[in-house]
Chains A and B, each alone.
Chain A
Amino acid sequence: MLGLNKKDTRFLLIVIALTLLTPIILQPFPEGSSLAQFNAGYPDLMQRFAIFGIFAIGFNILFGLTGYLSFGHAAFLGVGSYTVVWMYKLLDYNVIWGLPLAIITSGLFALLIGFVSLRRSGIYFSILTLAFAQMSYNLAYSVLTPITNGETGLQVYTDDVQILMGANEPQSPHFFGIVMRENFWVADIGAWEFTFNNGYYFSAVIAILAFYLSLRIFRSPFGLMLRAIKTNQTRLNYTGLNARPYTLAAFVISGMYAGLAGGLLAAMDPLAGAERMQWTASGEVVLMTILGGLGTMMGPVLGAGFIKYFENIFSKINEQVLRQWFGFLPDGLEGAVVWVAEYFVGSGWHLTSGLLFMLVVIFLPGGLVEGGQKLAGLFKRGKSDEDIDDPEHQPKQSPHVAE
């Protein structure tokens, strides 16, 4: 189906089902219970899952397949956001204008940066992309202020032209009248509350499309060439293939994914700021990808979800919550545990993510997917290989990063 083999089709269907049911799956605890704080079925958070999932899926096409480590992809995210907000300002709040344009502008931007950066490989490539991204960030804060509105960030003002704005049109981002921030159904079932949000489903459908496209790319001759680039460029050249257009294409595609993700961020919340382009933001998508599992289909999505979920949970926890949790401990011990734990929660989330970054690189280079497979392998030993439903079989034990 859809040009996929049976296994991939089943895999895709599972992903679709999970994505569509996310508002239910992520809300396992009844409202008001002490565990309700671990629920993640809020529109805002779920939107971020989908959007950063797209970002990471795209990044994986570059880093996961070709092994070219870019530290500048946040720049494309920013370009996407700015494009969409500008379309709000000039035309109207319908995202149909901005999103395709965001893909195009970020793609062109990626073509330019990629063309130059890909003249070099290995660490030089990483530094070049980093330099470009920092340059864009600095420019967004300074000279480009007329376009980016500098530190304030770009937003829609009442005196903007909005030439297509109709009389009854919603005053916030929408898709032909479907307002992103509105919920189409809030279901109260017993003690549970499930929120079905327009914006989430809009992003989710796009995320599924993005995932499907990347699945096709993974299984295509093009994807095969990208993986070949990662493992042996010498052989590739002597096999009559030119690596540069392939890597450039991968770079541009991943840039377009990033632009789309950035556009969607602005579609959920009509704002765009330069901080989205900072290199720490580029670092975040690298973390998502390697945490989930570099070069695997599902890894980046898992990684993005994992990071955004724990970012949300950890940021909410404060001293009070900690005291409540560890209240059962003797006083002195409680104090010590809370004191240590405080480093990692609240605004300490960045510390946790940095630590996570190190731990994954050191102990789990294959990411969550590989970790899961190892665990599954322990249980499933004895069963024949055919039986194991494992859509992650694609790149076989490749070392997780190449230069």
Chain B
Amino acid sequence: MDAILLQILNGLDKGSAYALIALGLTLIFGTLGVVNFAHGALFMIGAFCAVSLQRLLSLSFETVDPTRTDFLGNPLKVKTPYIESWFGPETGAAIIDWSVPLAILFSIPIMLLVGFIMERGLIKHFYKRPHADQILVTFGLAIVLQELVKHWFGANPIQTGAPEAFKGSFDFGVLLGFDPNLIIYPYWRMVYFGFAAVIVAAVFAFLQFTTFGMVVRAGMADRETVGLLGINIDKRFTIMFGLAAAVAGLAGVMYAPINSPNYHMGMDFLVLSFVVVVVGGMGSLPGAVLAGFMLGILESFASMNWIKSMIPGIDQIIIYLVAIAILLTRPRGLMGRKGVMED
């Protein structure tokens, strides 16, 4: 029982990331009719927003501390971040410590901008091209973005810590009456799950309760009719794309402390997110979220030792196996609608 609970918890953070990326993918599919292979790259850019902000905040100047010497007897050079000199050591250090949450604010305008540029500059011209063309061009874009990040940040993963306050773990087991240390769960992962839940709720609320969202939902159901109503769908498409980019970016920002950002994380997550979308049902937002969590948890179960010893390697392939099984038995996915991306 405790093991099962632990695995569910473990699956939540990865599932959250899948769900958020898949949500954006589905929004883009449903509204714009575009298959975006560069969506994983947006997730990666988000993570590197966190890295950048942390680096930016830690920018330091050097001073010589005359009271101390290094081991050669020379006066010791001390690096002081500008932030600390501006706001005082304590506030400054706190700001640096909180750079990942702060990066949320930092990344939103960046991601929106990246999304707008992508949509206006590239994606727009591919609305009417075959899906294969869309796949190819966004695949190329994904490579370009990934290589640029590699060029700037190097090939190695960059550790990006969560705030000190969230570094410990929470003992869930005790709360539920199990023995201590059976079900422990890092605070930051809890934060991540909560954050993802908030974002998902916000996106759904936005679609449900605003006129803008209503039009978008109508557009997802029937693009042509909405076009006929004379509603300026183009502008809304651009905004939708920016929004989807921001969701992916935020997912990436907050994921940085869980998994040190590296340049190929986008590709890694993209493949899985696509599988998630397919399992959830192309064009279904609830399906994307549901499948994201489901597959995240499933993956975590499959990596339990006794299961791995029974079926070796199952943790590596479980998601793909499920996707294949689902595509063959329920071609439209768990919650897919008829006529979405079908020939």
Q: B39 CB to closest chain A CB, in angstroms?
A: 13
Kindly state whether residue A9 has any CB partner on chain B within 8 Å. no
Q: Which of B122, B151, B316 contacts A142 (CB 8 A)?
A: B316
User: How many residues of A are counted as interface, with CB atoms below 8 angstroms from the partner's CB atoms?
Assistant: 48
What is the predominant secondary structure among interface residues of chain A facing chain B? Answer: helix
- Given known A-B contacts A116-B324, A128-B324, A139 and B313 have beta carbons under 8 A apart: yes
Q: Please state if A143 and B313 are interface contacts (CB–CB under 8 Å).
A: yes
Known: A120-B331, A123-B131, A287-B140. 20 other contacts (CB 8 A): A69-B135, A116-B328, A119-B328, A122-B343, A123-B132, A124-B282, A124-B331, A124-B341, A139-B316, A280-B267, A350-B143, A353-B143, A354-B140, A354-B146, A355-B140, A355-B144, A357-B140, A358-B137, A401-B130, A403-B131
CB contact list, B262-290 vs A, under 8 A = 267, 271, 274-275, 278, 282
Kindly state whether residue B201 has any CB partner on chain A within 8 Å. no
Q: B314 CB to closest chain A CB, in angstroms?
A: 8
A361 contact set on B, CB distance < 8 A = 133, 136-137, 140
A-B CB proximity, top 9 nearest: A143-B313, A354-B143, A357-B140, A351-B147, A358-B140, A401-B132, A138-B316, A354-B144, A135-B320
B148 contact set on A, CB distance < 8 A = 343, 351
A283 contact set on B, CB distance < 8 A = 139, 143
Kindly state whether residue A134 has any CB partner on chain B within 8 Å. yes
What per-residue 1/0 map shows which CB atoms of A274-312 lie under 8 Å from chain B? 000001100100110010000000000000000000000
Q: Please state if A131 and B133 are interface contacts (CB–CB under 8 Å).
A: no
A142 contact set on B, CB distance < 8 A = 312-313, 316
- A–B pairs, 18, beta carbons within 8 Å: A120-B327, A121-B343, A123-B341, A124-B282, A124-B331, A127-B274, A127-B323, A131-B271, A141-B316, A142-B312, A143-B313, A280-B267, A348-B151, A357-B143, A358-B140, A361-B136, A361-B137, A403-B132
A358 contact set on B, CB distance < 8 A = 122, 137, 140-141, 144
Q: Which residue of A lies closest to B125 (CB)?
A: A362
B125 contact set on A, CB distance < 8 A = 362
B151 contact set on A, CB distance < 8 A = 343, 348, 351
Q: Which of B144, B278, B324 contacts A351 (CB 8 A)?
A: B144
A355 contact set on B, CB distance < 8 A = 140, 144
Q: Which residue of A lies closest to B264 (CB)?
A: A280
A287 contact set on B, CB distance < 8 A = 140
Kindly state whether residue A233 has any CB partner on chain B within 8 Å. yes
A120 contact set on B, CB distance < 8 A = 327, 331
Kindly state whether residue A365 has any CB partner on chain B within 8 Å. yes
Q: Give the tally of cross-chain contacts (CB within 8 A).
A: 127
Q: Please state if B132 and A67 are interface contacts (CB–CB under 8 Å).
A: yes
B35 contact set on A, CB distance < 8 A = 123
A350 to B147: give the CA distance in the assembly, Å: 7
Q: Please state if B327 and A401 are interface contacts (CB–CB under 8 Å).
A: no
CB contact list, A28-72 vs B, under 8 A = 67, 69
Kindly state whether residue A132 has any CB partner on chain B within 8 Å. yes
B139 contact set on A, CB distance < 8 A = 283, 286, 357
Residues of B within 8 A of A (CB): 35, 122, 125, 130-133, 135-137, 139-144, 146-148, 151, 267, 271, 274-275, 278, 282, 312-313, 316-317, 320-321, 323-324, 327-328, 331, 341-343
What per-residue 1/0 map shows which CB atoms of A124-149 lie under 8 Å from chain B? 10111011101100110111100000
Q: A247 CB to closest chain B CB, in angstroms?
A: 13
Q: Please state if A122 and B320 are interface contacts (CB–CB under 8 Å).
A: no
A132 contact set on B, CB distance < 8 A = 320, 324
Q: Please state if A233 and B135 are interface contacts (CB–CB under 8 Å).
A: no
Kindly state whether residue A372 has any CB partner on chain B within 8 Å. no
Kindly state whether residue A399 has any CB partner on chain B within 8 Å. yes
Q: Please state if B343 and A403 are interface contacts (CB–CB under 8 Å).
A: yes
Q: Please state if A126 and B135 are interface contacts (CB–CB under 8 Å).
A: yes
What is the predominant secondary structure among interface residues of chain B facing chain A? Answer: helix
Q: Which residue of A lies closest to B315 (CB)?
A: A142
Q: A395 CB to closest chain B CB, in angstroms?
A: 15
Kindly state whether residue A402 has any CB partner on chain B within 8 Å. yes
A392 to B323: give the CA distance in the assembly, Å: 40
Q: Which residue of A lies closest to B142 (CB)?
A: A354
A138 contact set on B, CB distance < 8 A = 313, 316-317
Give the residue among A123, A141, A143, A353 with the most B Cβ atoms within 10 A. Answer: A123
Q: Please state if A290 and B136 are interface contacts (CB–CB under 8 Å).
A: yes
Q: A339 CB to closest chain B CB, in angstroms?
A: 11
Q: Please state if B320 and A399 are interface contacts (CB–CB under 8 Å).
A: no
Give the residue among A141, A143, A233, A356 with the most B Cβ atoms within 10 A. Answer: A143
Q: Please state if B144 and A131 are interface contacts (CB–CB under 8 Å).
A: no
Q: Which residue of A lies closest to B318 (CB)?
A: A135
A126 to B343: give the CA distance in the assembly, Å: 14
Give the residue among A69, A357, A399 with the most B Cβ atoms within 10 A. Answer: A357
- Given known A-B contacts A116-B328, A122-B342, A143 and B132 have beta carbons under 8 A apart: no
A361 to B131: give the CA distance in the assembly, Å: 12
B267 contact set on A, CB distance < 8 A = 279-280
B282 contact set on A, CB distance < 8 A = 124
Q: Please state if A134 and B271 are interface contacts (CB–CB under 8 Å).
A: yes
A122 contact set on B, CB distance < 8 A = 131, 341-343
A131 to B278: give the CA distance in the assembly, Å: 11
Q: Which residue of B lies closest to A67 (CB)?
A: B132
A124 to B135: give the CA distance in the assembly, Å: 12
A6 to B84: give the CA distance in the assembly, Å: 81
Q: Which residue of A lies closest to B147 (CB)?
A: A351
A355 to B141: give the CA distance in the assembly, Å: 7
A124 to B148: give the CA distance in the assembly, Å: 29
A279 to B40: give the CA distance in the assembly, Å: 14
Q: A367 CB to closest chain B CB, in angstroms?
A: 12
- Given known A-B contacts A348-B151, A401-B133, A403-B130, A134 and B343 have beta carbons under 8 A apart: no
Q: Please state if B133 and A127 are interface contacts (CB–CB under 8 Å).
A: no
What per-residue 1/0 map shows which CB atoms of A181-195 lie under 8 Å from chain B? 000000000000000
A130 to B141: give the CA distance in the assembly, Å: 18
A33 to B326: give the CA distance in the assembly, Å: 60
B144 contact set on A, CB distance < 8 A = 351, 354-355, 358
Q: Which of B133, B316, B324, B343 contacts A233 (CB 8 A)?
A: B343
A286 to B135: give the CA distance in the assembly, Å: 11
Q: Which residue of A lies closest to B29 (CB)?
A: A123
A342 to B141: give the CA distance in the assembly, Å: 19
Q: Please state if A124 and B143 are interface contacts (CB–CB under 8 Å).
A: no
Q: Please state if A144 and B313 are interface contacts (CB–CB under 8 Å).
A: yes
A401 to B126: give the CA distance in the assembly, Å: 13
Q: A139 CB to closest chain B CB, in angstroms?
A: 6
